[in-house]
Amino acid sequence: MRAYYFDNAPGDQRLLHDSGTPVPADALRSLGVLSWHIPVDADDNYIQAIDQIARERDYKNRDTINITKEGLGDAYEAKLKMFFEEHMHEDEEIRYILDGSGFFDVREHPVDSWVRIHVEQGDLVVLPAGIYHRFTLDEKNIIKAMRLFKDEPKWTPLNRGSATDENPIRHDYLASVAAH
Protein backbone atom coordinates (compact mmCIF):
# COMPACT_ATOMS: atom_id res chain seq x y z
CA MET A 1 0.00 0.00 0.00
CA ARG A 2 1.26 3.44 -0.89
CA ALA A 3 -0.27 6.78 0.11
CA TYR A 4 0.36 10.23 -1.31
CA TYR A 5 -1.42 13.51 -1.96
CA PHE A 6 -3.75 13.49 -4.96
CA ASP A 7 -2.59 15.96 -7.62
CA ASN A 8 -6.10 17.28 -8.46
CA ALA A 9 -5.16 17.33 -12.16
CA PRO A 10 -8.02 16.73 -14.59
CA GLY A 11 -8.14 13.37 -16.28
CA ASP A 12 -9.21 9.79 -15.79
CA GLN A 13 -9.78 9.01 -12.11
CA ARG A 14 -8.08 5.62 -12.65
CA LEU A 15 -4.68 7.22 -13.31
CA LEU A 16 -2.14 7.57 -10.47
CA HIS A 17 -2.68 11.31 -9.94
CA ASP A 18 0.50 11.28 -7.85
CA SER A 19 1.52 14.74 -6.65
CA GLY A 20 4.95 13.40 -5.73
CA THR A 21 4.33 14.09 -2.03
CA PRO A 22 4.05 10.89 0.00
CA VAL A 23 1.83 10.53 3.07
CA PRO A 24 3.46 8.47 5.83
CA ALA A 25 1.64 5.70 7.70
CA ASP A 26 1.54 7.72 10.94
CA ALA A 27 -0.31 10.54 9.12
CA LEU A 28 -2.87 8.00 7.89
CA ARG A 29 -3.25 6.66 11.44
CA SER A 30 -3.89 10.21 12.69
CA LEU A 31 -6.85 10.27 10.26
CA GLY A 32 -8.05 6.95 11.71
CA VAL A 33 -7.02 4.93 8.64
CA LEU A 34 -5.52 1.55 9.56
CA SER A 35 -3.72 -0.87 7.28
CA TRP A 36 -1.95 -4.21 7.18
CA HIS A 37 -0.26 -6.19 4.43
CA ILE A 38 -1.15 -9.88 4.56
CA PRO A 39 0.09 -11.77 1.48
CA VAL A 40 -2.52 -13.84 -0.33
CA ASP A 41 -1.25 -17.40 -0.65
CA ALA A 42 -2.47 -20.51 -2.48
CA ASP A 43 -2.85 -22.43 0.80
CA ASP A 44 -5.26 -19.80 2.21
CA ASN A 45 -3.01 -19.18 5.24
CA TYR A 46 -3.95 -15.49 5.00
CA ILE A 47 -7.43 -16.42 6.25
CA GLN A 48 -6.02 -17.05 9.74
CA ALA A 49 -4.55 -13.53 9.86
CA ILE A 50 -7.82 -12.02 8.61
CA ASP A 51 -9.78 -14.07 11.18
CA GLN A 52 -7.50 -12.79 13.97
CA ILE A 53 -8.00 -9.14 12.96
CA ALA A 54 -11.76 -9.80 12.63
CA ARG A 55 -11.87 -11.15 16.20
CA GLU A 56 -9.81 -8.26 17.58
CA ARG A 57 -11.97 -5.64 15.84
CA ASP A 58 -15.29 -7.46 16.33
CA TYR A 59 -16.06 -8.04 12.64
CA LYS A 60 -18.77 -10.66 12.49
CA ASN A 61 -19.60 -10.90 8.77
CA ARG A 62 -17.84 -10.82 5.43
CA ASP A 63 -18.44 -11.19 1.74
CA THR A 64 -16.48 -10.83 -1.50
CA ILE A 65 -17.01 -8.27 -4.23
CA ASN A 66 -15.64 -8.40 -7.77
CA ILE A 67 -15.51 -5.17 -9.72
CA THR A 68 -14.73 -5.74 -13.39
CA LYS A 69 -16.07 -4.44 -16.67
CA GLU A 70 -17.01 -7.98 -17.67
CA GLY A 71 -18.73 -8.74 -14.36
CA LEU A 72 -20.74 -5.52 -14.12
CA GLY A 73 -21.50 -5.16 -17.84
CA ASP A 74 -23.55 -2.08 -18.70
CA ALA A 75 -23.58 -0.97 -15.03
CA TYR A 76 -19.76 -0.74 -14.89
CA GLU A 77 -19.28 2.98 -15.63
CA ALA A 78 -22.27 4.00 -13.48
CA LYS A 79 -20.94 1.97 -10.53
CA LEU A 80 -17.48 3.51 -10.84
CA LYS A 81 -19.01 7.00 -10.89
CA MET A 82 -21.08 6.16 -7.80
CA PHE A 83 -18.05 4.79 -5.91
CA PHE A 84 -16.07 7.93 -6.82
CA GLU A 85 -18.62 10.36 -5.39
CA GLU A 86 -17.37 11.79 -2.11
CA HIS A 87 -19.24 10.11 0.72
CA MET A 88 -19.00 8.67 4.21
CA HIS A 89 -20.45 5.67 6.00
CA GLU A 90 -21.84 5.30 9.50
CA ASP A 91 -19.75 2.12 9.86
CA GLU A 92 -16.11 1.38 9.20
CA GLU A 93 -15.24 0.40 5.64
CA ILE A 94 -12.98 -2.65 5.72
CA ARG A 95 -11.46 -4.12 2.56
CA TYR A 96 -8.93 -6.90 2.06
CA ILE A 97 -7.66 -6.99 -1.53
CA LEU A 98 -7.64 -10.54 -2.88
CA ASP A 99 -6.75 -9.60 -6.46
CA GLY A 100 -6.34 -6.52 -8.62
CA SER A 101 -5.85 -2.99 -7.33
CA GLY A 102 -7.47 0.39 -6.91
CA PHE A 103 -7.50 3.67 -5.02
CA PHE A 104 -9.19 4.86 -1.87
CA ASP A 105 -9.05 8.63 -1.59
CA VAL A 106 -9.65 10.05 1.90
CA ARG A 107 -10.12 13.65 2.99
CA GLU A 108 -7.42 14.96 5.26
CA HIS A 109 -8.99 16.98 8.04
CA PRO A 110 -8.89 19.92 8.61
CA VAL A 111 -7.21 21.00 5.33
CA ASP A 112 -9.60 19.01 3.11
CA SER A 113 -6.83 17.70 0.81
CA TRP A 114 -7.28 14.34 -0.87
CA VAL A 115 -4.91 11.58 0.23
CA ARG A 116 -4.76 8.78 -2.34
CA ILE A 117 -4.16 5.25 -1.04
CA HIS A 118 -3.17 2.73 -3.70
CA VAL A 119 -4.23 -0.74 -2.54
CA GLU A 120 -3.05 -3.97 -4.14
CA GLN A 121 -3.33 -7.69 -3.51
CA GLY A 122 -2.71 -8.49 0.17
CA ASP A 123 -3.53 -5.00 1.47
CA LEU A 124 -6.14 -4.67 4.22
CA VAL A 125 -7.42 -1.16 4.83
CA VAL A 126 -9.88 0.15 7.43
CA LEU A 127 -11.50 3.53 6.86
CA PRO A 128 -13.14 4.89 10.02
CA ALA A 129 -16.84 5.65 10.20
CA GLY A 130 -17.44 9.31 9.34
CA ILE A 131 -14.40 9.92 7.10
CA TYR A 132 -15.15 11.41 3.70
CA HIS A 133 -13.72 9.20 0.98
CA ARG A 134 -14.19 7.77 -2.49
CA PHE A 135 -12.99 4.71 -4.42
CA THR A 136 -11.96 3.90 -7.95
CA LEU A 137 -10.17 1.17 -9.80
CA ASP A 138 -6.76 1.85 -11.28
CA GLU A 139 -5.87 1.25 -14.95
CA LYS A 140 -5.99 -2.54 -14.50
CA ASN A 141 -9.81 -2.17 -14.19
CA ILE A 142 -10.21 -5.10 -11.79
CA ILE A 143 -10.43 -5.61 -8.07
CA LYS A 144 -11.60 -8.53 -5.97
CA ALA A 145 -11.99 -7.62 -2.32
CA MET A 146 -13.22 -9.21 0.86
CA ARG A 147 -15.50 -6.83 2.71
CA LEU A 148 -15.72 -7.22 6.48
CA PHE A 149 -18.56 -5.91 8.63
CA LYS A 150 -19.14 -5.44 12.35
CA ASP A 151 -22.79 -6.45 12.01
CA GLU A 152 -25.03 -7.40 9.12
CA PRO A 153 -23.49 -6.53 5.76
CA LYS A 154 -24.56 -3.09 4.60
CA TRP A 155 -23.04 -0.44 2.45
CA THR A 156 -24.90 2.83 2.67
CA PRO A 157 -23.02 5.81 1.24
CA LEU A 158 -23.98 9.23 2.55
CA ASN A 159 -22.83 11.75 -0.05
CA ARG A 160 -21.11 14.84 1.26
CA GLY A 161 -23.42 17.75 1.92
CA SER A 162 -24.72 19.95 4.72
CA ALA A 163 -26.92 17.19 6.18
CA THR A 164 -24.04 14.71 6.18
CA ASP A 165 -21.75 17.31 7.74
CA GLU A 166 -24.20 17.41 10.68
CA ASN A 167 -24.40 13.62 11.03
CA PRO A 168 -23.46 12.53 14.61
CA ILE A 169 -21.09 9.87 13.22
CA ARG A 170 -19.27 12.60 11.27
CA HIS A 171 -19.03 14.72 14.43
CA ASP A 172 -17.63 11.72 16.36
CA TYR A 173 -15.05 11.19 13.63
CA LEU A 174 -13.97 14.87 13.70
CA ALA A 175 -13.64 14.71 17.50
CA SER A 176 -11.44 11.61 17.22
CA VAL A 177 -9.17 13.32 14.66
CA ALA A 178 -8.93 16.45 16.83
CA ALA A 179 -7.82 14.26 19.75
CA HIS A 180 -4.70 13.17 17.81
Give dist(CA 18, CA 102) in Å, integer.
14
pLDDT tens per residue, range 34-88? 999 999 999 999 999 999 999 999 999 999 999 999 988 899 989 999 999 999 9
Picking from 132, 135, 81, the residue whose alpha carbon sits closest to that of residue 104 is: 135
For the chain, the domain total comes to 1
Question: Is 90 annotated as contributing to ligand binding?
Answer: no
What's this model's pTM, rounded to 2 decimal places? 0.95
Question: Is 89 annotated as contributing to ligand binding?
Answer: yes
Confidence of residue 170 (pLDDT cuts 50, 70, 90): very high
Q: CATH number for the domain including 88?
A: 2.60.120.10
Range of the domain at 161: 2-179
Question: Is 180 annotated as contributing to ligand binding?
Answer: no
pLDDT of residue 11 exceeding 80, the answer is yes
Are 16 and 139 spatial neighbours (Cβ–Cβ below 8 Å)?
Answer: no
pLDDT tens per residue, range 103-114? 999 999 999 999
Question: Is 86 annotated as contributing to ligand binding?
Answer: no
User: Which DSSP string do the residues of 19-73 spell out, in sequence order?
Assistant: EEEE--HHHHHHTT-EEEE----TT-THHHHHHHHHHHHT--EEEEEEEEHHHHG
